[in-house]
Amino acid sequence: MIKRTKYIFLTLSIILFIGFSSNANNYIKKWKTLTQVIRLVNENYVEEVDMNEILDGAIIGLLDKLDPHSSYLNVELLEEMQENFSGEFEGIGIEFSIIDGYITIISPIPETPSDRAGLLSGDKIVKINDESAYKITQKDVFNKLRGPKNSKVNITIRRAGADDFSVDLIRAKIPIHSVLASFMIDNNTGYVKLNRFSHTTMDEFSNALNDLEQLGMSQLIIDLRNNPGGLMHQAVQMVDMFINSHDKILFTKGRIRGSSKEEWSRKSSKDKKYPVIVLINRGSASASEIVAGAFQDLDRGLVVGETSFGKGSVQNLLELNDGSAIKLTIAKYYTPSGRSIQRPYDKGVDEYYLDLSEENREDLDSLSTERPIFKTKSGRTVYGGGGITPDVFVESDLNLSKSTSLFLTSADRLLFNFSEKIKNEDEINNFIDSHSINDFITDYKLSKKHKSDLKIILSDLDDEFKDEDLKKDWEFIENRIKAQMANSIWGKSAMYQVNLSKDQIAQDALKQFPAAHLLIK
């Protein structure tokens, strides 16, 4: 009787939820069928099954039917997402990878317990609280090294050329930076690289601009390549910093109350007036596309690179009773000119992501005939219906050999290990003692011995390796090795500075500033 009462109550709740519409009866029939299937699987399947896992799968399947960006987040995934958006966590502050079974420090995060304790890139953590850390899982690393602020953890460090030593670290709040790098490319041009839009993005971005302006910046590159987006209001605030008139930055349209709204710039004497170029590629999505689309539509900056991802929808996080949540699409957003940049997803999720890698999205001849045309504030032609098409297309076509790709992406972090080995040589230490990062970029070259050692590694990785492969890719590989070394020696901004020196999209973008200057006159 109790079970029946609960079932009747649930059925009545469903009717109230969906209303007394013509579809109510069909909905209830389907609900009864679903609960029957769940019961039959639980009672009759050949093996005992984890019904929690089965029901999670049912929820995931339901949301998959809606669109590619509605999703289910279990408690663990929800906590991870909230941590990323909060912009901080509590721990010791290291970027790491598990190499040869040990936690290997890629770099200590500046101004954190690990940095203040003098830990170095390449150090291995061999014990945590006197327990061996050999063959530890990534999940256990987080469980053991993270913890409440002001709590203590003891780690044992193995460093090349030294005996193992023990360090007590007091955990603290560790920032998850949105701004990965900021520096001056030349006497006039500032560069800021962002990898997400979280609660701290605008504070970080504003601080970076202030520092660059103190160094004489008169023009800016904002690098949003491979930035998957994040919080919409942070993107709106970023654009607002550069709009010197009362303009619409974006608007959203949805079905429920509060989902349709407009975001306008707020005119201020503090607005930035220098020319801007925004870099995008196929990995730039959501909030990144809001920024790029607004700069383009309002003729406030040039967009350079590849056509962006094409995610033009807004998700709300709806928490469930068990602590999990669903991320549900509630609206679509539109750029100032009225463009929806959402790519079609009517062929299913798999096809949606496959199109991103296979489609020739930079074929402007096809764009002009197949995609809707819009006009910017000054009358320039732009396109809707599938990402932000750049004002200046620069293809990122590395065409690297198989052996090079394997070296750069190896799970054993071969690039890191090789770079660390060179970094510890006397020759590079002597060079660093008397030279700046700019000297390192222009003057430091890897030796013939380094090239010979690398050749052995590449031939081990690929049975079909040829000397011509290394010859063709050498300039790119050398730059990546130097960038990794710069990260260990000077920090992340230095790594991006080295990378940028051979970055075709960034180098081409620098040539577009005369056109960017014309937009703000």
What CATH number did the domain enclosing 102 receive?
Answer: 2.30.42.10
Confidence check: pLDDT of 499 > 60: yes
Say which residues have a Cβ less than 8 Å from residue 477's Cβ, sequence separation at least 6.
404, 407, 408, 454, 470
Mean pLDDT for 367-382 is: 84
On whether both 165 and 308 belong to a single domain, the answer is: no
Residue 118 inside a domain? The answer is yes
Q: What is the pLDDT of residue 360?
A: 59
Q: What is the pLDDT of residue 88?
A: 85
Q: What is the pLDDT of residue 254?
A: 94
Last residue in a domain, options 396, 419, 448: 396
Q: What is the pLDDT of residue 17?
A: 54
Q: What is the pLDDT of residues 254-283, one digit of tens each?
A: 999 889 999 999 877 677 999 999 999 999
Q: For residue 371, what is the DSSP state?
A: S
Confidence check: pLDDT of 8 > 50: no
Q: What is the pLDDT of residue 123?
A: 92
Q: What is the pLDDT of residue 2?
A: 40
Residue 130: which pLDDT band, with cuts at 50, 70 and 90? very high
pLDDT over 90 percentage in the chain: 66
On whether both 382 and 446 belong to a single domain, the answer is: no
Say which residues have a Cβ less than 8 Å from residue 330's Cβ, sequence separation at least 6.
254, 255, 256, 259, 314, 315, 316
Q: What is the pLDDT of residue 420?
A: 92
Residue 513 inside a domain? The answer is no
Relative to beta strand 392-393, strand 381-383 is: unpaired
On whether both 297 and 382 belong to a single domain, the answer is: yes
Q: List, as one string, the DSSP characters of 1-50.
A: -HHHHHHHHHHHHHHHHH-S-TTHHHHHHHHHHHHHHHHHHHHH-SS---
On whether both 222 and 289 belong to a single domain, the answer is: yes
Residue 63 inside a domain? The answer is no
Mean pLDDT for 420-436 is: 88
Residues labelled catalytic: 286, 297, 311
Residue 6: which pLDDT band, with cuts at 50, 70 and 90? very low
Mean pLDDT for 39-56 is: 91
Confidence check: pLDDT of 330 > 90: yes
Please tell me the distance from the alpha carbon of residue 216 to that of residue 374, in angstroms, as a whole number: 36
On whether both 233 and 340 belong to a single domain, the answer is: yes
Confidence check: pLDDT of 476 > 50: yes
Give, to the nearest 10 degrees, the angle between helix 402-409 and helix 414-423. Answer: 80
Domain region containing 128: 88-175
pLDDT over 70 percentage in the chain: 93
On whether both 231 and 290 belong to a single domain, the answer is: yes
More confident residue, 397 or 409: 409
Confidence check: pLDDT of 432 > 50: yes
Mean pLDDT for 185-199 is: 96
Q: Which of 498, 414, 395, 515 has the alpha carbon at shortest distance from 460?
A: 414
Residue 436 inside a domain? The answer is yes
Q: List, as one string, the DSSP characters of 402-432.
A: HHHHHHHH-TT-HHHHHHHHHHTSHHHHHHH
Q: What is the pLDDT of residues 71-125, one digit of tens each?
A: 999 998 898 888 888 888 899 999 898 988 999 998 898 889 999 999 988 899 9
Q: What is the pLDDT of residue 324?
A: 92
Q: What is the pLDDT of residue 386?
A: 84
How many domains does the structure of the chain reveal? 4
On whether both 191 and 210 belong to a single domain, the answer is: yes
Confidence check: pLDDT of 515 > 70: yes
Last residue in a domain, options 140, 156, 175: 175
Residue 218 inside a domain? The answer is yes
- What's this model's pTM, rounded to 2 decimal places? 0.87
On whether both 283 and 242 belong to a single domain, the answer is: yes
Residue 55 inside a domain? The answer is no
On whether both 170 and 183 belong to a single domain, the answer is: no
On whether both 483 and 443 belong to a single domain, the answer is: yes
Q: What is the pLDDT of residue 7?
A: 46
Q: What is the pLDDT of residue 396?
A: 73
For 53-77, give one letter per residue: b (16+ CB within 10 A) or e.
eeeeeeeeeebeeebbbbbbbbeee
On whether both 41 and 102 belong to a single domain, the answer is: no
CA atoms within 13 A on the CB side of 437: 22
Residue 311 near residue 355, CB atoms below 8 Å: no
Q: What is the pLDDT of residue 521?
A: 74
Q: What is the pLDDT of residues 293-326, one digit of tens each?
A: 999 999 999 999 999 999 999 999 999 999 999 9
Residue 324 near residue 78, CB atoms below 8 Å: yes
Residue 280 inside a domain? The answer is yes
On whether both 155 and 225 belong to a single domain, the answer is: no
Residue type, 218: S
Q: What is the pLDDT of residue 358?
A: 61
Residue 62 inside a domain? The answer is no
Residue 184: which pLDDT band, with cuts at 50, 70 and 90? very high
CATH of the domain at 195: 3.90.226.10
